[in-house]
Structure 1
């Protein structure tokens, strides 16, 4: 111990003071001793300079040691007291210890003094730490209580079995129950029967980890009506008294939010019905246009003009089929593209009178879904390429296969249309033909890249990003 211990010694016999000093010096104990002869001098010295420890003779004239100890405990609670006496019985010794003295040392056994002082200082230090911790806890509890009693949400604490231990005053405003009407009751008794299992599951999850849980349920109010609330809970450390872990919950009234969600859901349902009807009507209108063009084509004798009409009809049917798929889909914004490609290709086989027994159709791919902004250009690409294969790849009723493959590559999609026919002409793609210009325009619309393989028949590979194409023009 490098720092000297400051001692106040209340003793009326100077000889006894000298014996105490001699004992401490003999043990090379670092100390500063202030001798006082009566209670008044001791209190004056304490007020003036304080001390680390008080040594006190038990038997002084006109002096009540127990009363003095009680006073010192109030005024100087962190200063330890040791009784030094020549004659003190066991009963008196126990009484002084109960009053607040740390220890007692007999004058004829001063060899115990240094160890008693060290022990008293250590106990005082621990006591001071406990007092500081208790003060911090008290301030923290006051802040917590102030917060809990002034927020609009209900703050509560309950055991894992469900018994309320604490409920904030806001419970009365939200549920009609005053805090004292809920404390001691089981929280699950106020949960709607349909939600009890869900709430218990959320609380049980807290026993397995320290993460917070959140659950929405209906709470029974004092008037027996139910309101929607959201509760966020977290496990607390075991209570020092009950040694049982508890759950801290913050419960919020979400009636307005629920009403808004229901209104939003209703509005969304109405918009889905409207959008479905729009797709249905667009499909019908496109089919009418297609039928009118077909009727017109039947009156045309010029083969080239008739071919133009047939291609226009096929392109319109391609668009109509997309709207039909969207109308029948559970998702009005996207379609399963492979299903759409199968329907589109089979329609082209029928239109060009090419039975699948002569030319095989193979459509491959997963369950990827495309929005209308990508499905339309992809559908038109399939229409152009499959039409060309049916018309030109298999002359003289040759057998063969047309392949459509659609793959999800993670960041992008890949559409492949291929056939094992006679191959492409040398000048393909030509700048002059409508079909070539349309293929390039549709690929550009997808912001994609087209590769052509002529090694075995004709193979077109179009790769494009999943991101929506940027608008070409901005206003």
Structure 2
């Protein structure tokens, strides 16, 4: 072990060294007799300091105070020629681990061993506490980095908050830059060099290359000796893992966005084709209507043309609605009614729509049947030219598995029952699958009720 001996009397130096040798201790001695030499001696990784209380120009108390500042973990044993309880107490109070008389050097070896052992135990405790604090700090910073990373996406990729979190942690004070180019999709790899090919401490450079081998992600985490190098390396590994996962997520978002754009383009193309086909069919029916003879055939062809036109309006409304799996029925009905108002009314509409009850969500594949039924009801109401009339649509929940949709008006449709032929046909088809649907036409108006089964995949709306 290495011991600093602060003593200015050559006889006392030999006395102490002899006593230590007798205790079977192998010691590398550093001798000082000036206070200013203490700093240099402490830089040589010493295990213990033995100091005479009285020295020329200073005392052991000055040495203890300096050690408390420069190397607080190094133990100090004070030796003196005269017993003084008050002086001994003062030395212990300042931080000395033991106080020995020069004429009792027989126990100095035992005192040295005890002091070094105690210091080692205290150092181990301090190191363990610091490790725990550092680990908690690392985990706290990693959580903050994770929160910042979770806010990044294909549109928002400003790395400044994340970079600041890393800098503020003190674990990687030399972080130079973190940049992310989300529009380059390439392979991820690690390059262990820093700029200009230099490496410092556990510094690492991480680059993502695109197809042209241009760096689109550059992460430089330079961990200097600001704490435990193992902890710093662990921190770097965790952060780069988070960033790698974030990058993969953003890539997935970009691929998904591109896929959705492709699907949207496909839907748009299908929509245009359906609209064109419906327009062609309507024109063909219109041409046939010109040659139709008799009031019955003329009315039938006219109704057919109106329903084809309604199908076109339904298709347009569904396209504008933007849903791909489920639709909100009341919202969809209001859009259909608004289109009918534009078609039939040149001024303030004579018929109004009143939706009551809870919103109903139905699968998209059922929307066309409901829309055809409602378009016929709307058309019949507008054709009746009834002033200040209302079509009331009310939803009624009938348990956890279905609703009943009630549709009514106060218009006398007698003599015009043929306008509801399609409605009756569709209701008959629905009753065959699921009863509790029907239609009544009378002097007091129209009453219709339809059973609507609740979608099983509720989480999708």
Structure of higher RCO (CA pairs closer than 8 Å, 6+ residues apart): 2
TM-score normalised over the length of structure 1: 0.46
